[in-house]
Amino acid sequence: MSPEPLLKIEGLVKTFGGFRALDGVSLHLHPGEVLGLVGPNGSGKTTCINVISGLYAPDGGSVIYAGRSIGGEKSHRLAKSGINRTFQSPRPFLSLTVRENVELAAHYGDPKPGFDVDALLALLELDGYAGRPAAELNSAQQKTLDLARAMATEPRLLLVDELAAGLNPAELSRMAVRLRALAGSGMALLVVEHLMGFIDKVTDRVVVMAAGKEFFGGTLADATRDPEVIRVFLGGGHHG
């Protein structure tokens, strides 16, 4: 593992009116590492991904990617510089074909010259639907297409937002293998997920969040034994 983190977040704050969705979150992520971001609904996990991917500008703290500050940078620039993401609810371009969805990202997302769209579609088992409108895919396939669109920009940092939700056990296993393979190729992954079995298969370590703050960092096994984590997940009020 590289000594320098690819992503370093320090004291990240995001507010919506008077509500502090992120209240000083700090975390780091190295190339080839898979970090799970877990916590109850409303704890700020997706907001964190939204800030890193440029959807929201942070109100405080810093987001350092590959040694430079990227807080508030536009999403399309971040995509070109190697940050991409999937969405909790898949967001394909419904009027375009499956291939066009991926081709567009491969054109505008600045992957290496000669990027092979067809090989990516085959890898993700979408090649049989290449010429079909994305609207005809089922939910699991649309999630995979979301991943394909992200991968077509050849990201160094992939933010995965609840990709596993709604997948059947066989699809879950295949998705876990895919994500581990991406990490094996040197990609850093930040995975937001509620399915602990999936988190266990995919991540190297986890950060647990509640009420916009991270309060635990370590392996999932340690997290499940931590009384504070148990209290937050099983009741007794939020941390802090």
Partner 1 sequence: MPDIASGTGKRPVRRIILDAGIAAAVVAGMGVMRGVYSNELMLFNFIVFLTLAQGLNIIYGFTGYLPFGYVGFYGAGAYGFSLAVMHLHVPALVGMAAAGGAALVLAVILLPLLRLSGAYFAIASMAAAQAVYEIVANPDLESITKGPYGVSLSQVFAPAASYYAALAILAFALLLVVWLRNSRFGMSLQAIRDDPVSAAMAGVSVVRGRTIAWLLSALVAGLVGGVFAWHISVFYPDTAFDLSVSIFATVFLLFGGATTLSGPLLGVFILYGIYNAIGIAVPQYFQFTYGALIVALVLFLPNGLASLLTRRGIRVP
CB-nearer residue toward partner 1: 21 or 148: 148
Which is nearest to 11 in space by CA: 58, 54, 69, 78?
Answer: 58
For residue 240, the minimal CB distance to partner 1 (Å) is 31
Positions that interact with partner 1 (CB under 8 A):
53-55, 74-76, 79-80, 84-85, 87, 91-96, 99-101, 103-119, 130-131, 146, 149-150, 152-153
For residue 204, the minimal CB distance to partner 1 (Å) is 25
For residue 36, the minimal CB distance to partner 1 (Å) is 21
Q: Which conformational region is residue 26 in: left (phi greater than 0), alpha (psi within -120 to 50 degrees), or beta?
A: beta
Which is nearest to 51 in space by CA: 20, 94, 91?
Answer: 20
Contact 198, 166 (CB under 8 A): no
CB-nearer residue toward partner 1: 100 or 226: 100
129 DSSP assignment = G
CB-nearer residue toward partner 1: 99 or 213: 99
CB-nearer residue toward partner 1: 92 or 215: 92
For residue 67, the minimal CB distance to partner 1 (Å) is 21
For residue 115, the minimal CB distance to partner 1 (Å) is 6
Rg (CA), the chain: 17
Which is nearest to 4 in space by CA: 97, 66, 52?
Answer: 66
